[in-house]
């Protein structure tokens, strides 16, 4: 809203300083500062309100050290993250931008599902919360919305360079400091493949090799892929939220990395220099990303060990959904196994544990386990590691994965 106000002041009255709001860098800096202030200052008030309403965590006995002390800690703290993200975005972002709209829908949609789950756990005293099939249904619904918008909306396009001969002649005429002309905007399902030269892949090729006419039905392939990514990443974030600070800290690292990709992909100069896909209007996602990163870091103020508040499914499902949509919108979803490696191993540890237990029970009559406990962070707790050490080491691994992801910009 401030974005439109200062745009009006600049256009109508040439108001001093109003032009600053045209720059992504300025609005991004303002977004992260504002979200940090909201989450740290007003976060405490929200925590106090949750305590007043006795919205506390009911801890299941899992035999983990320090577990019983956490009973009664306020949950639903994901509200802090959601509010601290949306307020700066509504004030500073271009709300007509389709990518911003998509991220707001994701936040509200997944936040509502998570809130309903936490509400059932807290007020209905049902430790299972929202049945799993309804969570999956909600994730599938969001994936369907995101996939349809990405495929059908006219504002979601890419631009490629003019053909190589034109680029060579332009560079000879314009000089090295001038940019070659980009081609027209085009609707395409092209995405980025890491670690390979000419690293762009069009999903439509999965079926168009049979017949070129089938390319128009590529949505049959693309939308289920989007649904799978949204479901997998949101569940991964949900499983990672098991010890103080782990999900919020790991997610902040991932989100800031995606912010770099959104920035360079939405900037014609950087995308040309790095020889990556130029995605018009996607740079506006940087405002959302910085606000979201600030909200996560601010939430950590109260969520680090010993936590004063838990994010609950209100936070973890929302975080996972946003990360998935950011990766899809910036055409970097195939980097998720690297960038979201923490989420991936947490997911895999549960899948392997459950599958092996069922298999051995059927074969030997007694279920056996691969890990002392799953998800993986509980395995290390069972081994006697303090949760603060586990969290910091997971963060370090997350930083390494983030650096490796960024390196893919040039390592091909």
Known binding residues for Mg(2+) are 238, 313
Cβ proximity of 356 and 369 under 8 Å: yes
CA distance 143 to 140: 5
Complete DSSP assignment for 135-172: HHHHHHHHHHHHHHHHHH-TT--BB-BPPHHHHHHHHH
CA 3 remoteness from chain centre: 24
Phi then psi for residue 191, to 5 deg, are -135, 180
Q: What is the CA radius of gyration of the chain?
A: 23
CA distance 108 to 374: 29
Reduced to 3 states (helix: H, G, I; strand: E, B; else coil), residue 195 is coil
Cα 19 to Cα 27, 97, 210, 400, distances in angstroms = 11, 19, 52, 38
Cβ proximity of 145 and 105 under 8 Å: yes
- Indicate the annotated binding residues: 238, 313
């Amino acid at each position: 809203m401030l974005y439109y106000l200062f745009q009006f002041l600049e256009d109508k009255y040439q108001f001093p300083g109003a032009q600053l709001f045209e720059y992504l860098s300025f609005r991004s800096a303002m977004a992260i500062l504002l979200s940090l202030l909201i989450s740290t200052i007003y976060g405490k008030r929200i925590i106090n309100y949750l305590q007043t309403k006795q919205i506390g965590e009911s801890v299941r006995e899992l035999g983990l050290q320090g577990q019983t002390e956490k009973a009664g800690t306020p949950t639903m703290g994901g509200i802090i993250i959601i509010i601290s993200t949306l307020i700066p975005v509504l004030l500073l972002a271009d709300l007509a931008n389709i990518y911003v709209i998509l991220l707001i829908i994701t936040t509200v949609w997944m936040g509502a599902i998570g809130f309903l789950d936490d509400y059932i756990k807290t007020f209905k005293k049902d430790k299972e919360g929202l049945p799993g099939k309804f969570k999956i249904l909600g994730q599938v619904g969001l994936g369907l919305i995101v996939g349809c918008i990405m495929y059908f909306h006219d504002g979601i396009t890419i631009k490629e360079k003019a053909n190589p001969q034109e680029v060579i002649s332009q560079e000879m005429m314009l000089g090295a400091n001038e940019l070659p002309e980009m081609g027209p905007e085009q609707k395409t399902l092209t995405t980025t493949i890491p670690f390979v030269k000419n690293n762009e892949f069009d999903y439509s090729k999965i079926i168009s090799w049979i017949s070129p006419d089938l390319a128009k039905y590529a949505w049959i392939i693309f939308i289920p892929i989007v649904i799978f990514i949204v479901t997998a990443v949101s569940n991964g974030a949900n499983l990672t939220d098991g010890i103080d600070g782990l999900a919020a800290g790991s997610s902040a690292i991932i989100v800031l990395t995606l912010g770099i990709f959104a920035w360079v992909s939405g900037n014609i100069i950087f995308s040309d220099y790095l020889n990556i896909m130029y995605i018009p209007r996607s740079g506006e996602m940087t405002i959302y990303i910085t606000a979201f990163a600030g909200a996560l870091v601010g939430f950590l103020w109260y969520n680090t060990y010993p936590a004063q508040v838990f994010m609950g499914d209100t936070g973890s499902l929302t975080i996972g959904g946003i990360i998935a949509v950011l990766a899809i919108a910036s055409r970097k979803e195939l980097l998720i196994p690297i960038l979201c490696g923490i989420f991936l191993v947490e997911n895999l540890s549960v899948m392997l544990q459950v599958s092996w237990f069922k298999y051995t029970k059927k074969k030997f009559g007694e279920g056996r386990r691969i890990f002392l406990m799953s998800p993986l962070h509980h395995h290390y707790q069972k081994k006697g590691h303090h949760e603060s050490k586990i969290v910091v080491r997971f963060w370090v691994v997350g930083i390494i994965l983030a650096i490796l992801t960024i390196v893919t910009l040039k390592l091909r």
